[in-house]
């Protein structure tokens, strides 16, 4: 964990157990975003760990979609000062 409370990339990986096959790995420091799904062209949605072992067809991403890996949003902090 970083000093600002966010997860570091090195410690953000975890193993996901799967009942359908071998385990998958997931990194909580990244976001997986699908854009232009087959069901709703131009729509953007974030995929989570529950989608790790699903097929592209099951996710509605086949035959065409753009997947982006983005940094996870860091928690916002607000500070107040009193005089």
Sole residue written with tokens 């928690």: 75
Tens-binned pLDDT, residue by residue, of the chain (83 aa): 455 655 555 568 889 887 777 888 888 888 888 886 555 656 788 889 888 888 888 888 888 888 888 888 755 555 555 54
DSSP of 18-71: -SSSS-EEEETTEEEEEES-SSSTT-EEEE-GGGTT--TTTTT--S--EEEEEE
Q: What is the pLDDT of residue 4?
A: 61
CA distances from 61 to 14, 45, 54, 68 (A): 24, 11, 11, 13
């Amino acid at each position: 964990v970083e000093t600002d409370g966010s997860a570091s990339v090195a410690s953000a990986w975890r193993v996901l157990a799967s009942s359908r096959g071998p385990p998958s790995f997931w990194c909580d420091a990244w976001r997986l975003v699908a854009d232009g799904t087959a069901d709703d062209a131009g729509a953007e949605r974030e995929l989570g760990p529950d989608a790790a072992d699903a097929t592209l067809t099951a996710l509605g991403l086949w035959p065409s979609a753009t997947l982006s890996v983005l940094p996870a949003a860091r928690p916002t902090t607000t500070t107040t000062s009193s005089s």
